[in-house]
Every structure is written in C-alpha cells, then in structure tokens.
Structure 1
Amino acid sequence: MDYDYKKKEKKNGNCVISVRDRWENSIIEFEKKQHHIDIVVNYRNDKTTKYSIPIEIFGKVYEDLQRGN
C-alpha cells in the first residue's frame, strides 16, 4: 500500500491525523479543534484546500459512510 497514516498530538493538545498518498504526492490532514474538524488537502504541493466543519456533521458523514446510505 502506498499510503502513510500518522497520528500526532500538537503542543496545544489538538489531535492531527494525516494520510499521505505517496504515489500521487498528496496529503489529507484532519485536526480536531474544540467544536469542529479542520480538513486540509494538499495535492502535489501546489493546491491546498481547507474545510472546517462541525464535529457533529463529521460524525454523521462517518456514520452514513459506514452504513452505506
């Protein structure tokens, strides 16, 4: 598998999870903050997109993906 999964804790206590696709040279990072999740996508070191969504919505997306709905 050409993916690297890393979990770390920042000095401020926030949890950061990153998944790197080595083949495409892209990375997606998830950072849990107080009431929301920041999602940062970096594709081939030149395109960066950041999303910030409430934790409740992130949880609903995860649950729906697990159920296949």
Structure 2
Amino acid sequence: MINTKLKQIWYGGDYNPDQWPEEIWHEDMRLFKEAGINVVTLPVFSWAKLQPSEEQFQFDWLDKLLNLIAENGI
C-alpha cells in the first residue's frame, strides 16, 4: 500500500437498522461480511429514536447495535 497507515480500502455505506425489526440485524451482518463491507455510517436518521422526548435519551438499542457490528469486524 502507498499509505502504511491505511492497510485496507474502506467499503460500506449508511446503515439504518432502526427502520426495521432487530431480528434482521444478524442477517444484515452476515450479508455485510459476504459483500466485503467493513465500515458503516450510523445512526443517520434516528434522532427521534435516540431522543424520544426533550429530557429522555435511549441509547440501549444503539449500544447493542455497535457491539454487534464490532463483534462482526465491521
């Protein structure tokens, strides 16, 4: 590689799992690995889910998702 700090080419895109059931996430990870995806952008459109009211924040689903992504090497 020309740049020794960059050992691979990043390949991926936006991932919006908050728009469908959590049961699908594991299949998404399988398909991502099959396609060679190694990076995702998230949560792009999920502010309403992250902050459902002025003083309430819900990060549990995002924490779970980040752990799943890391476990799958993405």
- TM-score, normalising length from structure 1? 0.21
Please state which structure has a larger fraction of its residues in strand. 1
Which has more radius of gyration?
Answer: 2
Between 1 and 2, higher relative CO (CA 8 Å, sep ≥ 6) is seen in 2
Please state which structure has a larger fraction of its residues in helix. 2
- TM-score, normalising length from structure 2? 0.20
